[in-house]
Amino acid sequence: MKFFIETIGCQMNICDSDALSETLKSAGAIKVSALTDADIAIINTCSVRAQAEQKAYSWLGRAEEFKKENPHVKIAVIGCMAERIAPKIKRRFKSVNLIIGSKKIDNAAAKILQLETAKSQLPVNPGIEAVNFTTPDTVSYLTIMRGCDNYCSYCVVPFVRGREVSFDSEKIINDCKKLAANGAQEIMLLGQNVNSYKYNDVTFAKLLREIVKIKELKRLTFMTSHPKDLSDELIDAMANEPKIRKYIHLPMQSGSDKILNLMNRKYSYAHYKNLIKKLRDKVANINITSDIIVGFPGETEEDFLETLQAVEDIKFNALYIFKYSPRPNTKAAQMKDDVSLQEKKRRHNVILELAKRQNNNA
């Protein structure tokens, strides 16, 4: 069986796809680099933004056209979009053979192999919590938790990935040991909000301090962090453990307290700015990147200028800017989307140009 995976979305999706690939390969399947060479075409989807879903629709359209000429080909849709709108996908793309949402993605390999009758057998206790240990790479990814309990008003993640669950700390440490023993120079720990990780009495900072004890491991990093859960304990670990990469992705989203409150971010801009100061004071040469959403419902020109000033003041090492788009089932989707697309584009471009100037002058 030859399979192809198209992955859309975040680093966690990439990690899930990599782990799924390794599980399928361990069962005798062959991964190919082109859809046109595959017997099974898999797409791992994302629902965070409307644009990501449009990419999935376009890919599925191409996959259906390919299947018309090659009827033996099976199509599988997995991930967040599959979780959110499985019936709609099935109605629109009638040749899709399998749909598995993000909450049941650990069963994806077994279900995909069943599409090819019983030609291949899965190893005992398959799972995709960690990337496999047989294909060393410079950087390996390890998911340490799933889901999110924050319910930011614009975000669909809690609805498609479920409540927050932290994985067994001993298993995570053992997985890291195996990855390092097989040649991984750096491990990136992944979660929707790694700062809130807690398994029994093991906090995220304690977990990091245990992992860096692994002799073969050279570097350790993580993403994504939520400002409301960034602790002094974690900042101290970053400052004092040489193996922890001096980097953090800390989404600000807005510099306006009014908008942060509407977003249900649970922190103020002053709190966020204080975190940045702590990080830069304690962690030498730290790189800080962030996310900004422009055009959120109710964002006035004054609110936007507060965000612009925040970007001017903080001077991030890199900035990812997104135009707000309403996501189904979220609280923000019930708000009036009162910033025009043209104005969203303008605000996006203004912040983008500022970020470019800052990077050029760095």
- In order of their start, the domains of the chain are 2-114 (3.40.50.12160), 129-245 (3.30.750.210), 250-362 (3.30.750.200)
Per-residue model confidence (pLDDT) at position 135: 44
Nearest one of 11, 74, 82, 73 to 44, comparing CA atoms: 82
For residues 306-328, give the mean pLDDT: 96
CA 313 to chain centre: 27
pLDDT at position 129 over 70: no
pTM of the model: 0.81
Q: Does the CA dihedral 174-179-182-186 come out positive or negative? A: negative
Q: What integer pLDDT is reported at residue 103 of this predicted model?
A: 82
pLDDT-above-90 percentage for the chain: 75
Give 304 or 112, the one with higher predicted confidence. Answer: 304
With residue 292 as reference, give the H or E element that holds it.
strand 287-294
Q: Name which residue leads in pLDDT, 128 or 277.
A: 277
3-state secondary structure of 58: helix
Taking the C-alpha atoms of residue 315 and residue 149, their distance in angstroms, rounded to an integer, is: 30
User: Which pLDDT band, with edges at 50, 70 and 90, does 15 fall under?
Assistant: confident
Check if the beta carbon of residue 23 is closer than 8 Å to that of residue 126. Answer: yes
Q: What's the mean pLDDT in 215-237?
A: 96
- From the list 110, 106, 180, the residue with the least C-alpha distance to 139 is 180
Task: Report residue 62: phi and psi, to 5°.
Answer: -65, -40
Residue 125: what pLDDT?
A: 35
Write the pLDDT tens digit of every residue in 21-43: 888 988 889 999 999 999 999 99
